[in-house]
Amino acid sequence: MLAISCNDTVSQMDSHGYADSLDMQHDTNKLKTVSIAPGEKFLWKTGLCLKATEASVFYIPGAIFPNNVKIGQILQSSDTNLGIEFISRPKVGDSTMPDFRVFLKKGVTLKINRNTEVIFTKDDNPGEKNRVFIIEEGELETDIHHK
Protein backbone atom coordinates (compact mmCIF):
# COMPACT_ATOMS: atom_id res chain seq x y z
CA MET A 1 0.00 0.00 0.00
CA LEU A 2 1.28 3.45 -0.86
CA ALA A 3 2.17 5.58 2.12
CA ILE A 4 1.67 9.24 1.27
CA SER A 5 0.06 12.05 3.10
CA CYS A 6 -0.94 15.53 2.10
CA ASN A 7 -0.20 18.32 4.50
CA ASP A 8 -0.75 22.03 4.34
CA THR A 9 2.83 22.86 4.58
CA VAL A 10 5.84 24.81 5.12
CA SER A 11 6.07 26.92 8.22
CA GLN A 12 9.10 28.93 7.08
CA MET A 13 11.29 29.35 4.04
CA ASP A 14 14.99 30.10 4.28
CA SER A 15 16.66 32.87 2.26
CA HIS A 16 16.98 30.52 -0.73
CA GLY A 17 13.29 29.63 -0.76
CA TYR A 18 13.79 26.14 0.71
CA ALA A 19 11.67 24.69 3.46
CA ASP A 20 13.26 25.51 6.80
CA SER A 21 10.87 23.47 8.87
CA LEU A 22 7.71 21.60 8.04
CA ASP A 23 4.45 22.14 9.81
CA MET A 24 2.21 19.08 9.79
CA GLN A 25 -0.77 21.05 11.07
CA HIS A 26 -3.58 22.40 8.93
CA ASP A 27 -3.03 26.00 7.84
CA THR A 28 -4.67 27.18 4.62
CA ASN A 29 -2.12 29.99 4.20
CA LYS A 30 0.72 27.49 3.83
CA LEU A 31 1.91 25.58 0.79
CA LYS A 32 0.72 22.01 0.23
CA THR A 33 3.13 19.11 0.60
CA VAL A 34 3.20 15.39 0.01
CA SER A 35 5.31 12.87 1.91
CA ILE A 36 6.53 9.89 -0.13
CA ALA A 37 8.00 6.72 1.37
CA PRO A 38 11.22 5.40 -0.16
CA GLY A 39 10.71 2.41 -2.45
CA GLU A 40 6.98 3.00 -2.78
CA LYS A 41 5.05 3.59 -6.00
CA PHE A 42 3.60 7.07 -6.37
CA LEU A 43 0.93 7.92 -8.96
CA TRP A 44 2.08 11.13 -10.63
CA LYS A 45 -0.94 12.85 -12.14
CA THR A 46 -0.45 14.79 -15.39
CA GLY A 47 0.74 18.33 -14.67
CA LEU A 48 1.77 17.71 -11.05
CA CYS A 49 4.90 19.72 -10.20
CA LEU A 50 6.82 18.82 -7.05
CA LYS A 51 9.70 20.72 -5.45
CA ALA A 52 12.33 18.71 -3.56
CA THR A 53 13.05 19.83 0.00
CA GLU A 54 16.09 17.49 -0.02
CA ALA A 55 18.15 15.82 -2.74
CA SER A 56 15.94 13.02 -4.14
CA VAL A 57 15.84 10.41 -6.89
CA PHE A 58 12.80 9.14 -8.83
CA TYR A 59 12.66 6.03 -11.01
CA ILE A 60 10.55 6.81 -14.09
CA PRO A 61 9.32 4.31 -16.71
CA GLY A 62 10.50 5.06 -20.24
CA ALA A 63 7.14 3.83 -21.54
CA ILE A 64 5.60 7.25 -20.80
CA PHE A 65 7.36 8.60 -23.89
CA PRO A 66 5.56 7.91 -27.17
CA ASN A 67 7.69 7.48 -30.30
CA ASN A 68 9.50 10.63 -31.45
CA VAL A 69 8.59 12.64 -28.34
CA LYS A 70 11.45 14.55 -26.73
CA ILE A 71 12.11 14.21 -23.00
CA GLY A 72 11.47 17.95 -22.50
CA GLN A 73 7.92 17.59 -23.79
CA ILE A 74 7.05 15.22 -20.93
CA LEU A 75 9.51 16.20 -18.16
CA GLN A 76 10.02 19.79 -17.11
CA SER A 77 12.37 20.98 -14.39
CA SER A 78 13.65 24.21 -12.87
CA ASP A 79 17.16 22.73 -13.24
CA THR A 80 18.53 23.16 -16.78
CA ASN A 81 21.13 20.47 -15.97
CA LEU A 82 18.68 17.92 -14.58
CA GLY A 83 20.49 14.65 -13.87
CA ILE A 84 19.06 11.73 -15.82
CA GLU A 85 20.51 8.22 -15.79
CA PHE A 86 19.15 5.53 -18.11
CA ILE A 87 18.82 2.14 -16.44
CA SER A 88 19.70 0.30 -19.65
CA ARG A 89 20.78 1.18 -23.18
CA PRO A 90 18.11 1.30 -25.89
CA LYS A 91 18.19 -1.76 -28.14
CA VAL A 92 19.09 -1.20 -31.78
CA GLY A 93 15.90 -0.69 -33.75
CA ASP A 94 13.79 -0.41 -30.59
CA SER A 95 11.73 2.75 -30.53
CA THR A 96 10.84 2.58 -26.84
CA MET A 97 12.84 4.57 -24.34
CA PRO A 98 14.44 2.65 -21.46
CA ASP A 99 13.48 3.34 -17.85
CA PHE A 100 15.57 5.97 -16.12
CA ARG A 101 16.26 7.79 -12.86
CA VAL A 102 15.94 11.54 -12.35
CA PHE A 103 18.17 13.19 -9.74
CA LEU A 104 16.69 16.26 -8.07
CA LYS A 105 18.76 18.67 -6.00
CA LYS A 106 17.25 20.47 -3.02
CA GLY A 107 14.92 23.21 -4.27
CA VAL A 108 14.57 21.77 -7.80
CA THR A 109 11.12 21.20 -9.30
CA LEU A 110 9.98 18.33 -11.50
CA LYS A 111 6.79 18.35 -13.56
CA ILE A 112 5.61 15.32 -15.52
CA ASN A 113 3.06 15.96 -18.26
CA ARG A 114 1.75 12.40 -18.29
CA ASN A 115 -0.04 10.14 -15.81
CA THR A 116 2.49 7.58 -14.61
CA GLU A 117 3.70 5.58 -11.65
CA VAL A 118 7.11 6.62 -10.37
CA ILE A 119 9.16 5.26 -7.49
CA PHE A 120 10.98 7.47 -5.02
CA THR A 121 14.13 5.36 -4.81
CA LYS A 122 15.79 4.36 -1.59
CA ASP A 123 19.19 5.78 -0.77
CA ASP A 124 21.92 3.50 0.48
CA ASN A 125 21.04 4.64 4.00
CA PRO A 126 19.06 1.77 5.63
CA GLY A 127 17.25 4.22 7.91
CA GLU A 128 15.98 6.28 4.95
CA LYS A 129 12.86 8.22 5.86
CA ASN A 130 9.94 9.60 3.92
CA ARG A 131 10.70 12.70 1.90
CA VAL A 132 8.50 15.75 1.82
CA PHE A 133 7.92 17.52 -1.48
CA ILE A 134 6.23 20.88 -1.98
CA ILE A 135 3.33 20.79 -4.43
CA GLU A 136 4.13 23.71 -6.72
CA GLU A 137 1.27 23.08 -9.12
CA GLY A 138 -1.29 20.44 -10.01
CA GLU A 139 -3.29 17.96 -8.00
CA LEU A 140 -2.56 14.70 -6.23
CA GLU A 141 -4.37 11.59 -7.38
CA THR A 142 -6.90 10.92 -4.63
CA ASP A 143 -7.83 7.37 -5.63
CA ILE A 144 -4.50 5.52 -5.39
CA HIS A 145 -4.53 1.76 -5.05
CA HIS A 146 -1.22 -0.10 -5.36
CA LYS A 147 -0.06 -3.48 -4.23
Q: So what's the pLDDT on residue 119?
A: 92
Per-residue pLDDT of the chain (147 residues; tens, 9 = 90+): 222 233 333 333 344 333 333 333 334 347 899 999 998 899 999 999 999 999 999 999 988 888 778 888 999 999 998 899 888 766 666 667 788 999 999 999 999 999 999 999 866 566 678 889 999 999 887 644 333
Task: Strands of the chain (E only): list them.
Answer: 4-8, 10-13, 19-22, 32-36, 41-44, 49-52, 56-60, 75-77, 83-86, 100-104, 109-112, 116-120, 131-137
